[in-house]
Structure 1
Amino acid sequence: MVVLLGGCVTPDARWTVPTAGRPLGSPSARPSASSSGVPIAPADWQPCPDAYKAIFPKPPQNVSFSCATVKVPQDWNNPKGSGTFDIALVRGRSTTQRDRVGSLFINPGGPGASGFEYAVYRSVYLPAEVVRRFDVIGFDPRGIGRSSPVKCFSDADLDANFGIDPDPVSDAQFQQSVALARRLAQSCGDKYGDTLRYFSTEQTVRDMDALRAAVGEEKLTYLGYSYGTLLGAVYAQLFPKNVRALVLDGAVDPTLSTQDSAEKQAAGFELAFTNFTNWCRDNASSCPIGPDARAVVTKAIADARAAPVKGQGGRTATAGWVFTAVVSSLYSESSWRTLAQAMQDLQSGKPDKMFALADSYADRDPSGKYNNMFDANAAVGCTDSDDTPTLEQARALQAQWRQKYPLFGGSLALNLICAQWPGKRDPYPTGAATGSAPIVVIGTLGDPATPYEQAPALAKMLGVGTLVTWKGEGHTAYPKTGCIIDAVNRYLIDLRVPPANLTCDK
């Protein structure tokens, strides 16, 4: 019952796609961070030179870090009647900064990934031209990381979640998955009760406008990946006049139903896996499990069901863990060689490389501890979704999708935690960003987690979107290739919108 994520790449964390929305109501009837009358104090930046330690073994050169905490209402619909959340921010500033444009907010996706840590990373690994012109600002969205984190899943339950059969066939196996998902969902309900509804995407977007004001920017410049594209899209709908420039890379189509979104992701992962197997066939010297890598991986999962390999410390390489390793490797073409070697080692009774791939996806450390990525992922994703298939519908879809998408369909049909979620739902709005500045939307043809067709759909929905296409593999495109880098840099710095339907080769 692996949760497939639609998130970005480095550092070792993965981010998921959202599931459902609602039509946009009258903006005048919806409170906003800028018009609610709630005082938001300016960010009180303080030096935090150790911020790098979560990402880098040594202090990076030519960048300094400052940190701040901004308080926001727990419920923007009732700001005076609810408590507050603390939102943690970090600012990376080049020591060679010149001709400053402003602040570039950045989000890696999820929901559940740390924007704080990602901004530290990107302060070093964005194009130098951008870093010299912008402060790079990241924040952990409410419920995530350093920002009033949601934590309701035990390490043991998360191990069980990733280790359980990803595509249970018998009724007994299916009911075992249902029971585990129910335990996970109820643990959040028992701990957080009615406050679970405060972790919705729309609440986070209203936080974003408060953060924009808190750092002193009149308008928002933003780089969002994967689920971060949803945050950007909803922001543009709610606060169109506050948009300076938004880059939405690895685009999510907010208009898709939960079921349609999951099926498109199943097709996307199946396509990415086929591309991996074709690479294995054509690169025998780099892929020791070729020429039929699909048969090898399929057999490895089947063998793990019957007789899982034991690893160091007695850890068992179940079908779920093998499947998670495969999922992890498809987010970046650079991981294909690692997957091939891991599968060869597994055949020889050595699961260490397989576990390393799986753990990088799950954010599981060597001692078996997890951060709160998947707790927050459930809290946000399930709160956002009011059309999750029932358990009965999921069971029927599982059989259908297994036939259409042999490796990934059965698993992606089973959104069993959200199907049993105890909290109230708060779907995000969908609609045009009328009155917004132009927005750049990027899609990658080989993206497994946010399949390409969602990018033109998002650009069209926004009404002010300009589509950029990368003929590449893996999840997200910037800054991986020169054509994309040039187009995004010119847009962020000079507000020069790329030509309509720009296509960049690998």
Structure 2
Amino acid sequence: MYSHHRGRRAVVPSLLAALTLLAAGCTSDGGSDEEATPSTSSAPAEPTAEPIEWEDCNEPLQPLIAGRPGSERGLSFECGQVPVPISYDEPEGERLPLTLVRAVHPGQTDRIGSLVINPGGPGGSGVDAAIGLALTLPEDVVRRFDIVGFDPRGVSLSSPVECIPDETKDRLIASEPQPTSAEQLDDVFGLAREVAEDCAERYESPAALGAFNTVDTARDMDLLREALGEEQLTYLGYSYGTTLGSTYAELFPDRVRAFVLDAAVDPDADARATAESQAAGLEASFDAFAQNCLSLIAGCPIGPDPRSFVEEVMLQASQGPIPSAAEGETRQATPGVVHTAVVAALYDTQTWPQLSQSLAAARNGDAAGLFSLADSYAGRLEDGTYSNQLDANLAINCADTDEEIETDEVRALAAEWDAEYPLFGAGSAAGLYTCTPWEAERTPLPQRDAEGSAPILVVGNSGDPVTPLPGAVDMAEQLASGVLLTWQGQGHTAYPKNPCVNDAVNRYLIDLVVPLDGLTCPA
């Protein structure tokens, strides 16, 4: 029922546990819980950043990193916290701590500064992403920058917003993915209202729940820049991270050193246009997945018509949920689980083989592979609990908009889009209702041209299923200093997946050499 994430990198359970202990060991004099209600001030002063007290994080993280590609780099990890105002209307009032991680290469030379990461979502852990990217980014970059990731307010280890029960999340994932009938859509609307009511009750005041918004997170990033001792910020943002990065550039254009906005979310599109664009992008990506499967020398595990095969598996699951052969698993896969697994796999071409094999196994009565894909996408952990990825995604998306789309329009769009985008249209339309019953203060995103900023590199991917290429084109055109780089590849995000892209981005980050606007890299 919810719109697709703008980007996601799920935290594996063991890493989440280690980092939870890590965060508990960090201290912050200004810490506060996330439910404190901000008050207003007519003339707020500028907040100031506190110095970061870094602590060694190698011991809890090294066992999880050992053996992974990039572990031979011998990186050193430190953790810390930066307290930020709950409300920027009261900058000297109560604060919440942001948890962050810094990775440093042992061979670091000619250090430029910190490269700050946001992996998207909203709701993705920047701490988790920084650890992974420190292992996988081109070594030329890692040798010149500290790789710094932070969990934004409300996310993972930074006063996480938590208001959707695990049982409700299971129901969300299992719910009808292609709702078109009046009864199916009534169920969607009822579940959306239930979630909104639970979150409003948990946070008591609209101001408390509305504190988890992108504009204030961008202001948090500027305090982080100051705490890191950087005069200007170097930033790498993926998917929703492009929204966060462009918002920062709008608020603080003179503090931009180099920004890479990869898989850009279209800044001009309203909720309807964004949802339809995602439906179209997912349909095109599924067709690319199907074509790839049919080209395999060993043959496609899901036969000569992959689209029909998926529809048959979903029909099978609707007639009788499909069990899993995984030890201890009691859940059975509904059409919603099948559909979520398909969406999850389309983000990355490396998971396409897993998707085809999992669909084939499900057709034969074992949904274990589909559950693995769906659980990773939704942030479901091995013990049946969830990360707060879904809670944060919902809270931030709804805080960022004042659009409210009523049920009659959703019903009409569900019918229209179901005909045009058979696998993904109705679900995308149903997701438009999600924020309508949401009871929180709204802080709509500003128009963003970032006038006066240094050049900003916007990267788009011609085969992106979630943030299609026109969004990157619009982002580059809207930013006064925007420069567009296009990769003719499949999957969500481009850097560091392609040598041509890597070379252009590396030179920009390190030497501030801006690629030719409109440069296109082949697949």
- So what's the TM-score if we normalise by structure 2? 0.90
2:180 pairs with 163, 169, 177, which one? 169
Q: Does 1:126 align with 2:137?
A: yes
Alignment of 1:91-170 (within 5 A): 91-170=102-181
| 2-structure distance, mates of 1:217, 1:134 | 12
Residue equivalent to 2:459: 442
Residue equivalent to 1:367: 383
| 2-structure distance, mates of 1:120, 1:361 | 19
1:46 pairs with 52, 55, 69, which one? 55
Residue 316 (structure 1) shift:
1.2
1:70 pairs with 72, 75, 82, which one? 82
Q: Does 1:213 align with 2:213?
A: no
Aligned AA (1:327): V
Residue equivalent to 1:228: 241
Residue 12 (structure 1) shift:
6.4
C-alpha contact (below 8 Å) 1:287/1:337 kept by paired residues = no
Residue equivalent to 1:23: none
Extract unaligned runs of 5+ from structure 1.
14-30
Alignment of 1:4-403 (within 5 A): 4-8=4-8, 36-50=45-59, 52=61, 56=65, 60-61=71-72, 62-80=74-92, 82-192=93-203, 193-194=205-206, 195-283=208-296, 285-312=298-325, 313-403=329-419
Aligned AA (2:4): L
| 2-structure distance, mates of 1:278, 1:110 | 28
Residue 255 (structure 1) shift:
2.1
| 1-structure distance, mates of 2:369, 2:213 | 36
| 2-structure distance, mates of 1:336, 1:117 | 23
| 2-structure distance, mates of 1:51, 1:128 | 23
| 2-structure distance, mates of 1:213, 1:363 | 32
* 459-468 or 189-198, which deviates more: 189-198
Q: Percent identity?
A: 45
Residue equivalent to 1:25: none
- Distance change >3 Å, CA 83–CA 449, structure 1 → 2: same
Residue 57 (structure 1) shift:
5.3
| 2-structure distance, mates of 1:364, 1:153 | 13
Residue 9 (structure 1) shift:
5.1
Extract unaligned runs of 5+ from structure 2.
14-40
C-alpha contact (below 8 Å) 2:179/2:430 kept by paired residues = no
C-alpha contact (below 8 Å) 1:2/1:324 kept by paired residues = no
C-alpha contact (below 8 Å) 2:239/2:467 kept by paired residues = yes
C-alpha contact (below 8 Å) 2:180/2:426 kept by paired residues = no
| 2-structure distance, mates of 1:189, 1:481 | 44
| 2-structure distance, mates of 1:54, 1:113 | 22
Alignment of 1:421-440 (within 5 A): 421-440=438-457
Cα deviation code 1:409-431 (max 9, x no counterpart) = 00011123312111121111012
Aligned AA (1:482): P
- Distance change >3 Å, CA 364–CA 55, structure 1 → 2: farther
How many positions carry a matched residue from both structures? Answer: 485
| 1-structure distance, mates of 2:48, 2:198 | 34
| 2-structure distance, mates of 1:109, 1:103 | 19
Alignment of 1:457-496 (within 5 A): 457-496=474-513
Residue 298 (structure 1) shift:
1.3
| 1-structure distance, mates of 2:342, 2:358 | 10
| 2-structure distance, mates of 1:197, 1:502 | 39
Residue 135 (structure 1) shift:
0.3
CA-atom RMSD, angstroms?
A: 1.8
Residue 55 (structure 1) shift:
5.5
| 2-structure distance, mates of 1:120, 1:334 | 20
| 1-structure distance, mates of 2:172, 2:121 | 18
Aligned AA (1:196): L
* 140-149 or 166-175, which deviates more: 166-175
| 1-structure distance, mates of 2:404, 2:361 | 38
3-state SS of 2:344 partner = helix
Residue 197 (structure 1) shift:
1.2
3-state SS of 1:428 partner = coil
Cα deviation code 1:448-472 (max 9, x no counterpart) = 0101110110001111111000000
C-alpha contact (below 8 Å) 2:400/2:444 kept by paired residues = yes
3-state SS of 2:485 partner = strand
